[in-house]
Structure 1
Amino acid sequence: MIFDEDKPKKPVSHEIGSDLSFLSADELNARISLLEAEIARLTEERQRKEAGKRAADSFFKPKV
């Protein structure tokens, strides 16, 4: 049986608040691209959840 702690962990590409002074301009651009892609992914997921909530709210809306 495989336990979660036995699985190799993915290396962290960027840690919020980390020291950026040792990175080159190209490395900073790569991190910016990574973070922009993550923001887009988060935004899409938020929109899906909001749409689901709106659908549920309209379905369960009390009839007056």
Structure 2
Amino acid sequence: MSLSNAGETGGLIDIGPARVNAAPMDADENLPRRKDDLVAQLAKQDLDPLSVEELTERIALLEAEIDRTRSKISRSINHRASADALFKK
């Protein structure tokens, strides 16, 4: 195809307008994905070889982590509320 007849035969430029924002974007889509997802690793771990004592200890450790996570959520909510109150007009 030569430059003289490019407009006549239609090229890739003439395929139509591209759709911008055709689908909504997920808020977490731009966040990097962790390759070492610890929760997934925990779920895949075979519990059969563990004794009752080891399973009890595991539950205690997981409950402590849940408490730590809930505490972080609470602090984050309080921090956000304080910031909102500070900048409220």
Assess same fold via TM > 0.5: yes
Q: CA deviation at 1:16?
A: 1.2
1:55 aligns with 82
CA deviation string 1:1-59 (max 9, x = no partner): xxxxxxxxxxxxxx411111111111000000000001111111111111000000111
1:16 aligns with 42
* C-alpha distance in structure 1 between counterparts of 2:46 and 2:80, whole Å: 39
Structure 1 residue runs without a partner (length 5+): 1-14
RMSD (Å), alpha carbons? 1.0
Count residues in correspondence: 48
Q: CA deviation at 1:61?
A: 1.6
* C-alpha distance in structure 2 between counterparts of 1:16 and 1:54, whole Å: 34
Q: Which has the larger radius of gyration?
A: 2
Structure 2 residue runs without a partner (length 5+): 1-40
